[in-house]
Amino acid sequence: MSCTETNGSLLLDRYAEVTGREVIHHLQQLAAPLKGAKVVHVNSTREGGGVAEILQKLIPLKRALGIDASWEVIQGSPTFYECTKGFHNGLQGMRSPILKQLLAEYEKVNAENAEELRSTLEEADFVVIHDPQPAPLLSHCPERRGRWLWRCHIDASHPYRPVWKYLRQWVIPYDASIFSIPQFAQALPHPQYIVAPSIDPLSEKNRDLPLEELHTVRERFKLDPDLPMMLQVSRYDRFKDPLGVVQACQLAGKLTPLQLVLAGGGATDDPEGEAVLEEVRQAAAGDSRIQVLLLPADAHHTINALQRTADIVLQKSIREGFGLTVAEAMWKGKPVIGGDTGGIRLQVFDHYTGFLVRTPEGAALRIRYLLHRRELLKEMGRRAQRFVGENFLITRHLREYLTMLLGLQSGTQGRMELGL
Amino acid sequence: MSESTVDPVEATPFAVRDCALISLATGLKAQNLREFSDILQRVPLESIEHHLWGRLLQPRFDEPEYNNDFASWAYHGLHDKTLAERLSMVVPTDFADQEALRQELVEVLEERLDQCEMVPWAKKDQQFHFLRSQIVVFDSGLRFSRPVDLIPYLAHLSTGSVYYHFIDARNRTTDRCDDFSAWLAGCGPAYQPLRERLCGVDPYFSSLQNLRQIVSALFQSFFEEAAQ
C-alpha cells in the first residue's frame, strides 16, 4: 500500500468514527466505478467563505476514495472582484447594474486564466466550476473531453434579471448545473442537480474542544461569564444583516441582559467588507455588551470555541445560499435564530431546531423566548445536532456528488443499476 | 423452529443491495392549487415517486407533520389543512401502478378545487418545486443464508440499503412490502410472524435511521422470543 493510500485510509477511518463505518463503506462502493477519474474544481479564492472551506475538505476525501481530484484557483484584479461582487449582489436580487468596462475585465481575466488552466481542464473527466467568477472558462476550452458542471452557491431565487441574463450565456453550454436548494434553480437547457452544502465534523472549526479551551476564549475576549452570549459568525456583508443583529440584541437586551459577539473575517473576493464592518462598529459604539471581531481567515479554532461558548447563535441573513455557519452551530448543539430565507430554511425549523425570523424585532423576541426557557433551549440544541449529523455532514455531500457524477456518466436515466 | 424452516442451503441467500439518490429540478413549479393539479397531471411519474418516497434519502427534517411533500406543501404553502390531511392518506401501495396513484392524487386535488370558493395560493417564496431523482443501485456484495445471520448486520445497514430494501421494494415486490419479508417467505412458515411484523411497519413517518432501528429490533425480538 502506498503512502498516499495509507493516508487516505486513515482519513476515512477518522470519518468513520463520527459517521459510522457503514457510511464510509457506502461511499467506497459508490466511488469504485469512478476510481482514477480526473475531477477538477475551480473557484476564485483559496481561503475565506464557505466554498473554499468545503473544497479544502472535499478534495482530500475524494482522493481518499481513489478519485484523482484537484483544485484550481483563478487569479483576478481588484476590478475583476468588483465585477464579480456585483454579480453576487445581482444574483441575490440587488439591483446593481454592472458597467461595461467591468464586464470587459471579467472576460479578460477569465481568458488569461484559461491560458494557464486549459490543458488541466481539457483533459479532466469532470470539471466543477464554482460560482460566477470562473464561469466563462468553459468557452475557452474547445477541446474539452469531460463533463462540465456549474456549481452555484448563491441564493439565485430572484436574481436581478440583467445580471442573470448576462451570466446565463456562460452557463448554458455546461452539461449540468448544481444549486443548493430547488428554489435557486433557473430555466436552463441542461439537468439541474440539487445538492445542499455541508460541514466537516473533523475540521478545526467543528471538532470537539476541551472545556479549558472554551475558558481560554472567554478570557481572551473578556466575555462576561454571568451574561448569556449571542453570536453571529459571518463575513461583514449586507446580506448577512449584521446591523439587524446589533439592533435585535439591543432590543432584547433592554429586557433580558445579554452580550453579543459578531465574529467575521474578510474573503479575498469581497471588496465591500470593510465598509460594512465600519457601519457595524459605529452601530455598536458605546455598547460594552457588543463585541465586533475581525478575525483572520484561518481563525477556525477561535470560531469553534466561540460557537461552543454561545448560548444562542444567530444567522439573520436577508439572503443566504445555504449558511454553513447555521449547520456549524447546530452541530455544536446550539439552537439557531436565522433569517427566513434561502438555505437557512433547510436547516432551521420553527420550535424544533431554532426559529426563522424576518425582522430584528422577530430575532429579539426569539432571543428572549429562548433565554427564558432554558430546558427548551437545550432540547432544541440536541435536536439540531442530531439533524445536522444525519443530513449536513460532508459525507452526505460527497455521496450526492458521487451519485451525480455516476448519473452524468450514464446519461439522464432515472435509475442506474451498477454491476447487477 | 428448525423443523419448519427451509434448509439454508436450499434457500436463496439474501443479497444486500445499496443505493444512492440525487435530486434534480424539473423546472416545473406551482404557486396555486390549480397550477399544482395541472402540473401533477403531466409531470414525469418519477417526480411523483420522488416526492412520496425519494425524499427519505434527501436532507430533510425528520419530524414531519405530514408524510409526503404534497401534503406538507398543502399545509405549509397553501395553509389548507383539509387538503393536507387527505393527501397524506393517499397510500402509494394501494394502487396497481404509479399512473393509478397519479390519478388518485389528481382526484383529491380536483375535488378540493371544486369545494373552494377561491383557488388556494401560496406566497411567491412558498411555491412548490417539482423535483425528480436519479437513483444508483449497486450490490454491496454481502450475502446471508439464514435470517438469524442478519441480526448483527441490520443495525449497521447503510441508509441506502434501508431505502432499497424497505421503501423501494414496495414498487418491486408482489406483496408491495419489503425485501426482507419477501425473502423470509421462502425460508419457511416459522418466519411468518416476523414477516407480519415487518409488513406492519409504517415506513412513511420515520427517518431511514429510525427504520433501521425498527427493523433491527423486530429481528432481534423475534429470535429472542423463539429462543425462549
Which of A27, A30, A171 should be substituted to probe chain B, the one whose Cβ sees the most B Cβ atoms within 10 Å?
A30
Q: How far is A320 from chain B (nearest CA, A)?
A: 14
Between CA A394 and CA A117 the distance in angstroms is 27
Contacts of A10 (CB under 8 A, 6+ apart): none
- Using an 8 Å CB-CB cutoff, list chain B residues near A20: 156
pLDDT digits (tens, 9 = 90+) for A286-300: 899 999 999 998 899
Which domains, and CATH codes, for chain A?
A: 3-198+393-410 (3.40.50.2000), 211-391 (3.40.50.2000)
Residue A250 corresponds to which cell in the numbers above?
A: 439591543
- CA pair distance A69, A126, nearest whole angstrom: 9
Residues from chain B contacting residue A387 (CB–CB below 8 Å): 61-62
CB contact under 8 A, B156 and A22: yes
* Residue A137 contacts residue A114 (beta carbons within 8 Å): yes
* C-alpha cell belonging to residue B228: 425462549
Contact A126, A39 (CB under 8 A): yes
Q: Which of B17, B135, B207 sits opposite A390 (nearest CB)?
A: B207
| B89 contacts chain A (CB < 8 A) | no
Interface of B with A in 116-135 (CB under 8 A): 125, 127, 129, 131-135
Answer yes or no: do A185 and B27 touch at CB < 8 A: yes
Nearest CA of chain B to the CA of A265: how many Å? 29
**Residue whose entry in the numeric block shows the C-alpha cell 429462543:** B227
**Model confidence pLDDT, tens digit, residues A58-116:** 999 999 999 999 999 999 999 999 999 999 999 989 998 999 999 999 999 999 999 99
- Give the span between the Cα atoms of B42 and B163, in whole angstroms: 26
Chain A residues with CB under 8 Å of B134 CB are 403-404, 407, 412-416
The alpha carbon of residue A383 is apart from the nearest alpha carbon of chain B, in Å, by 10
Instruction: Return the beta strands (E) in A153-244 as ranges.
Output: 176-179, 192-194, 229-233
Q: Could you give the CA distance from residue B227 to residue B219 in angstroms, rounded to a whole number?
A: 12
Q: Which residues contact A302 (CB under 8 A, 6 or more apart)?
A: A217, A263, A295
Contact B179, B157 (CB under 8 A): no
For residues A176, A182, A187, A192, the Cα torsion angle rounded to the nearest 10 degrees is 10
Size of interface A-B (CB pairs under 8 A): 106
> CA nearest B95: which of B84, B105, B86?
B105
Residue B82 CA to residue B66 CA, distance in Å, equals 12
Contacts of residue B131 in chain A, CB cutoff 8 Å?
182, 194
| CB contacts, 8 Å: A330 with chain B | none
Cβ B61–A194 below 8 Å, yes or no? no
Predicted pLDDT of residue B3: 45
Q: Cα separations (Å) of A155 from A184, A343, A397, A411? A: 6, 8, 18, 28
Residues of chain B with pLDDT under 50: 2-3, 9
* The residue to which cell 436565522 is assigned: A338
pLDDT in tens, B21-56: 999 999 999 999 999 999 999 999 999 999 998 888
Separation CA A183–CA A116 (nearest Å):
35
- Concatenated DSSP letters for A302-348? HHHHHHHH-SEEEE--SS-S--HHHHHHHHTT--EEEESSGGGGGT-
Indicate whether A2 pLDDT > 70.
no
* Distance spanning both ends of chain B, measured CA to CA: 11
Q: What is the tens place of the pLDDT at every residue in A309-354?
A: 999 999 999 988 889 999 999 999 999 999 999 889 989 999 999 9
Copy the grid coordinates of residue A102.
467591468
**Which residues, in sequence order, are CB contacts of B26 under 8 Å at separation 6+?**
B43, B44, B47, B129, B130, B131, B132
Q: Which residues of B touch A199 (CB under 8 A)?
A: none
Which residue in A has a C-alpha nearest to residue B25's C-alpha? A192
Task: Indicate the residue of B129, B132, B158 with minimum beta-carbon distance to A414.
Answer: B132
> In the Cβ-directed half-sphere of A93, how many Cα atoms lie within 13 Å?
13
If DSSP codes are grouped into helix, strand and coil, which group holds residue A198?
coil
Q: Show residues of chain B in contact with A193, CB under 8 Å.
A: 22-25
Using CB atoms, which residue from B18, B27, B61 is nearest to A26? B18
Average pLDDT, chain A: 94
Task: Give me the residues paired with residue A2 across strands.
Answer: none
Distance CA A182, CA B167 (A): 23
Contact assessment for residue B134 and residue A411, using Cβ atoms and an 8 Å cutoff: no
Residues of B in contact with A25 (CB under 8 A): 140, 158
Interface of B with A in 42-71 (CB under 8 A): 44, 46, 59-63
**HSE value, Cβ hemisphere, 13 Å, CA-based, for A332:** 28
DSSP A301: H
Kindly give, in sequence order, each residue whose CB lies less than 8 Å from that of residue A142, ignoring residues fewer than 6 positions away: none
Place of cell 447546530: A330
The reply to whether residue B25 touches residue A403, judged by beta carbons under 8 angstroms, is no
Give the per-residue pLDDT at A1: 59
CA–CA dist A127, A261 (Å, integer): 39
- Beta strand pairing status for A290-294 and A229-233? unpaired
Chain A residues close to B157, C-beta within 8 Å? 22
Q: Do A396 and B59 touch (CB under 8 A)?
A: yes
Least Cα separation, residue A355 to chain B (angstroms):
14
- Inter-chain residue contact A407 with B60, CB threshold 8 Å: no
pLDDT tens digit sequence for A201-227: 999 999 999 999 999 999 999 999 999
- pTM of this structure: 0.90
Three-state SS annotation for chain B: CHHHCCCCCCCCCEEEEEEEEEEEEEEEEECEHHHHHHHHHHCCHHHHHHHHCHHHHCCCCCCCCCCCHHHHHHHHCCCCHHHHHHHHCCCHHHCCCHHHHHHHHHHHHHHHHHHCCCCCECCHHHCEEEEEEEEEEEEEEEEECCHHHHHHHHCCCCHHHHHHHHHHHHHCCCCCCCHHHHHHHHHCHHHHHHHHHHHCCCHHHCCHHHHHHHHHHHHHHHHHHHHC
Distances (CA, A) of A21 to A33, A148, A207, B149, B222: 20, 32, 18, 19, 26
Q: Which amino acid is present at B167? A: I
Query: What is the DSSP code string of A230-296?
Result: EEEE--S-GGG-HHHHHHHHHHHHTTS--EEEEEE---TT-TTHHHHHHHHHHHHTT-TTEEEEE--
Residue spans per domain, chain B: 2-19+141-227, 20-132
**Contact of A414 with B132, CB cutoff 8 Å:** yes
CA distance A393 to A391: 6
CA atoms within 13 A on the CB side of A120: 19
Residues of B in contact with A414 (CB under 8 A): 44, 46, 132-135
Is B157 close to A352, i.e. CB distance below 8 A? no
Question: Nearest-CA neighbor of B157 among B171, B170, B140, B172?
Answer: B140
Rounded to the nearest 10 degrees, the angle between the axes of helix A78-91 and helix A161-171 is: 110
- Angle at the Cα of A403 from the Cα atoms of A401 and A405, rounded to 5 degrees: 70
Answer whether B23 sits within 8 Å of A157, measured CB to CB. no
Q: ∠ CA B180-B181-B186 to the nearest 5 degrees? A: 100
**pLDDT at site A270:** 67
Distance from the Cα of B8 to chain A's closest Cα (Å) equals 23
